[in-house]
Amino acid sequence: MRARGDAAAAAAAAAPHVSIILPVHNAEPWLNECLESVLQQDFEGSMELSVFNDASKDKSMTIIEKWKVKLEGSGIPVVIGGHASPSPRGVGYSKNQAIAQSSGSYLCFLDSDDVMMPQRVRLQLEAAARHPTSIIGCQVRREPPDSTERYTRWINQLAADQLLTQVFTSNGPTVIMPTWFCSRAWFSHVGPFDEGGQGVPEDLLFFYNHLRKGGGVVRVDQSLLLYRYHPNAATHSVLETTIWTHRVRFLEERVLPHWAAFTIWNAGRQGRRLYRSLTAGTRRKVIAFCDVDENKIRKGFYCHEDSQERPKPRVPILHFRAARPPFVICVKLDLTGGAFEDNLRSLHLQEGRDFLHFS
């Protein structure tokens, strides 16, 4: 009995504290730099790398095997899994497999085309220990630097409370998936990732489930990841219409039941699209559109021509100063030279309670 207890204690002591979760599919151009960044971590605790090769057809496996020797020589065990089917099974499947074959108490997610800064594991582990039911993210440096400038600003500059209030925007999770770090216990409580494969926003679906279960969102305010932009990235395979549908349903689930009535800020294409995407019951809560465009305001109303209701719904279009909160805002941030943001600030509203961003 005692021997078994000693063996269990020894196994627990031998288990790594942090598992770096690395799905790989045809990552040859970036893999050396990515794996070098694992070796360069300044974290002094126990750490392992868990790689899952999702049917790569390039030299990814050769590079991984070479780095396995180098990493294990430096005290970082490497677990390698994978399959050689004709087609990849997708990022969700690969991440789930990499997690299943790993054994760390904490999970540090890494994309094969990205590069970690040396302090990433150490600083995110400190934050995760303080916030055991949160997803921990970090600020990023984009490569090339001038790609997705507005998105990168949004990632890096959201205030702490906006990490929870801006979860409905088209940008997706308020801390981006390649920066995620969390405890294995919390991942098991929320997960696993959806394994639908190409075209499924597995990170967004996991993030929504995390929020449903009361999870928090925390960002380490240091740039701990070089976040690469290139045309082959898996995110490009997800249709905008798919993400739109998930976002609308999540908005209807989480916020709109608590509002007796609301105004859609934007009488243009995006605002009307949101209105048409809502369920009939939620559409009836829309008391107005609001805008600054005098031509739209002069028109006086929006008629939902596709509605089966008789008479067809006619929703007033008002100047934003004449409209009543709460607002669902369908205006893209950071695109009007500050005019929209100035208008919103002039109303002295509280984000989350009086308005939320959807665009």
Beta bridge partners of 181: 108, 136
Buried/exposed code over 278-316 (b: 16+ C-beta within 10 A; e: otherwise): beeebbeebebbbbbeeebbeeeebebeeeeeeeebebb
The domains of the chain are located at 17-238, 241-357
Task: Answer whether residue 232 shows pLDDT above 80.
Answer: no
Task: Answer whether residue 12 shows pLDDT above 50.
Answer: no
Indicate the pLDDT class of residue 10, thresholds 50, 70 and 90: very low
| Coil vs helix vs strand at 224 | strand
Can you give the pLDDT at residue 135? 98
As a whole number of angstroms, the distance between CA 244 and CA 201 comes to 11
Q: Do domains 17-238 and 241-357 have the same CATH topology?
A: no
Task: Answer whether residue 247 shows pLDDT above 70.
Answer: yes
Task: Answer whether residue 3 shows pLDDT above 80.
Answer: no
| Answer CATH for 241-357 from 3.40.1130, 3.40.50, 3.30.70, 3.40.630 | 3.40.50
Nearest to 49 by CA among 119, 98, 82: 98
Can you give the pLDDT at residue 4? 43
In words, the CATH class of domain 17-238 is alpha beta
Can you give the pLDDT at residue 233? 67
Indicate the pLDDT class of residue 252, thresholds 50, 70 and 90: very high
Q: Percent of the chain scored above 70 by pLDDT?
A: 95
